[in-house]
Amino acid sequence: VLIATVCSPISYFPLKFALSGSTPPEQTCESREQRSSYLKHRTPELPPYLLSKLQAYERRHRRCGPLSESFNTTSPLGTHNDSAGGDCKFVVYTPSQGLGNRILGLTSTFLFALLTDRVLLVDFSADMGELFCEPFPNSTWLLPGNFPFKSEENVKKFKMRHFRDISQNSAPALLQIFLQDKYNEYDKLFFKDENQGFVERVPWLVLIHDGYFIPCLFQMQTFRSELEKLFPDQETVFHHLVKYLFSPSNQAWGQITGFYEAYLAKAEERIGFQIRVFEPKQTPFTAVMKQITSCTQKHRLILPQSDEVTLRNETSKSILVASLSRKYYEEIDWMYGRRRRQSTGIAVYQASHEGKQHSGDNSHNMKAWMDIYLLSTSDVLVTSSMSTFGYVAAGIAGVKPWIVMIPDPYHPRGADEPACERAINLEPCFHFPPWFAYPDPPGTGGLVGRCEDVSWGLKLV
C-alpha cells in the first residue's frame, strides 16, 4: 500500500510536457449549453461568493496549468524554491475504482484545491480521456502523459515516509497521500487541522483516493468559515460542484441525447432505477427485487395506488433501469411495462447491461457515464445503498433519491429496517471517515451526520 509518500528532490527538468494521450480542449461543449432542457430540476443559482471563487480559480488554472508558459518550466520534483512556477501549487488526482467513486474523489479534490489556492490536475488514463469536456476555459486539467512522476520507475526511486516521520520544518517538493478505504491511522492525519500548515508548504500534492471527503473538510477549523461563505446552503455543495466540473463530452452527449430522444423524451414522467448489487453471486435476485418492489409500492413511486389496480388514463411514464445485469430490467419490464402497457402507458428501458464492472475500458466507462446522465434526467430516482454511482446521478439531477437498502452478505441489515429511505439531501456519503470525525467534534455545530444507507459513513446534513 502506498501511504503518505514523500518524494525526494530529483532533477528531471526542465521539461517540455507534451499533452500526449489527452484530448485538446474542446472549442464548444454542447452539453453545457443544452443540458438545462434535459435536466428538469431547476438548479439553484451559484452563490455569488462561490461564483467569484470559481472565476478566480479559472484564472489561476490558466496562469499555472499545463497550457501555460510557467507550467513548461515548473519543476515538480525540485524544491519549492526551484519551482519556476512561482506561486503555483498543484494537487494531482489519481483515480481509482469505478466512475462514481472517481467523480466523488475528483469533486472533493477540486474543493480542496479551491480552498488551498492550488491547481487541480487529473491523471486520467486512456479509459477516461473522452468522457468529459474540459471544465476550465482555455486550459486543460489533464496531467501531461510524459509527466515525471507518472512513470513507475521514477516513483520507485522516491523515498516513502509516513506522515508521522515528516519533518515539520522541511516540506518536500512532492507528497503523495493515500486516502482510500484501507488508509491507516497516519494517512488519516491529513484530516487534522494541525497538519494543514505543513501540507500547505508542499508545492505538489498527489492524492490517491476515491471518496467524498468533503464532510471532513467542513469539520476542519482551517476551512470551515470559508466553506460556510462559499456554500450558504450546505445541502447543495455536491450538486453545484458536480455540475460545474462534469459536462459530458460532445461524443458522450451525442449518445446520451440520442437515447433520451428515442425513448424517454415523450413520457410525462421519468423514473430512474439504479440497481447496484456488489456481490451478485451471493445476493439472491428475489431478495433484491423484494426490496425494490416494497419501496416502490409503499411510496407509490410508479403506480399511485395498489399494484393490483388497473389504471386507465394514467400519466405516461418511462422507467429507465440502469444496472450491470439485464435481469432487473426484464423483471421490472414484466411487472410494469409489458404486463400493463395497454392500460397504463408505462414503458421500461435499459441503455446497456455490461454484465460486470471492467477496468481500463473507455467504451465501458462511456456507457456508465451515459447511464449516470440518463438517470439524472429523471423526475423520480430510486438508487442503491452504498453506491457512489447513484450518489452522482442524484447529485447531477438535483433530485433526492429513494435509496433502496440492497441486501449485502457482508453487512446484513436488521429485519425491521425499511426497504428504502428518502435521502435527506443531495449530498453523497463519505464511506470511510477517520475515527476522529465522530462524533461531530465540538464547535462544528451539527454540520455532519449519519448517512441513510451506510451506518459508519458521514455526510453533510
> In terms of CB distance, is 49 or 285 closer to ligand GDP?
285
CB-CB contact of 118 with 57 (8 Å): no
Residue 368 interacting with ligand GDP (CB under 6 A): yes
> In terms of CB distance, is 322 or 348 closer to ligand GDP?
322
Q: Could you tell me the smallest distance in angstroms from the CB atom of residue 303 to ligand GDP?
A: 24
> In terms of CB distance, is 89 or 102 closer to ligand GDP?
102
Applying CB under 6 A, among 179, 388, 402, 426 the residue interacting with ligand GDP is: 388
Applying CB under 6 A, among 188, 387, 395, 423 the residue interacting with ligand GDP is: 387
Calpha distance 222→267 (Å, rounded): 48
In one-letter notation, the amino acid at residue 59 is R
CB-CB contact of 377 with 270 (8 Å): yes
Residue 271 interacting with ligand GDP (CB under 6 A): no
Contact stretch for ligand GDP (CB under 6 A) within 84-92, 97-105, 239-247, 257-265? 97-105
Residue 320 interacting with ligand GDP (CB under 6 A): no
Half-sphere CA count of 408, side-chain side, radius 13 A: 17
Applying CB under 6 A, among 23, 146, 250, 357 the residue interacting with ligand GDP is: 357
Give me the count of residues in the chain.
Answer: 461
* Ranges within 389-418 binding ligand GDP (CB under 6 A): 389
Contact stretch for ligand GDP (CB under 6 A) within 20-28, 47-55, 387-395, 418-426? 387-395
Q: Could you tell me the smallest distance in angstroms from the CB atom of residue 217 to ligand GDP?
A: 21
> In terms of CB distance, is 75 or 365 closer to ligand GDP?
365
Contact stretch for ligand GDP (CB under 6 A) within 106-114, 174-182, 254-262, 382-390? 382-390
* Ranges within 101-160 binding ligand GDP (CB under 6 A): 101
Binding-site size for ligand GDP (CB under 6 A) equals: 20
> In terms of CB distance, is 95 or 337 closer to ligand GDP?
95
Residue 352 interacting with ligand GDP (CB under 6 A): yes
Q: Could you tell me the smallest distance in angstroms from the CB atom of residue 364 to ligand GDP?
A: 6
Q: Could you tell me the smallest distance in angstroms from the CB atom of residue 210 to ligand GDP?
A: 7
Which residues of the shown chain bind ligand GDP in the complex (CB under 6 A)? 97-101, 274, 276, 322-324, 352, 354, 357, 364, 367-368, 371, 387-389
